[in-house]
Amino acid sequence: MKKTECLNLMDYVKDWDNWRDTLHDAIGEARKLGWTDAQIKETAAQMGDFLASRVCPATKEEKLLQELWNAGSPEERKTLATLLFKIMK
């Protein structure tokens, strides 16, 4: 993906630890709104599709996640989203 064809979100989240904290906070907010874990995981999978296709990886961790996401089948992507959900709790 060319740099001009993707978004760079790291201007917002700054680094990997901040990104993890942001996701952790988002999960907490979704729970406050009454979302189930299944709804959060499904939304995470949908967001993963968007991020993998539109966001430039700015860290080696993001690059690895993008490569894993792009290599996975739809079911494997849901598994990856579930694993990320588990480590963000």
Between CA 46 and CA 85 the distance in angstroms is 13
Taking domain 3-88, whether its CATH number is 1.10.760 is answered by yes
pLDDT in tens, 1-13: 455 566 665 555 5
- Please give the pLDDT value at position 7: 64
| Calpha distance 4→21 (Å, rounded) | 27
Per-residue pLDDT, 29: 94
For 74-87, the pLDDT digits (tens) are 999 999 999 988 88
Residue 62 vs residues 8, 37, 54: alpha-carbon distances, Å: 11, 23, 12
User: 29-87, pLDDT tens digit by residue?
Assistant: 999 999 999 999 999 899 889 888 888 887 888 889 999 999 999 999 999 999 988 88
Domain ranges, ordered by start, for the chain: 3-88
Quick one: pLDDT at residue 54?
83
pTM: 0.74
pLDDT attached to residue 53: 85
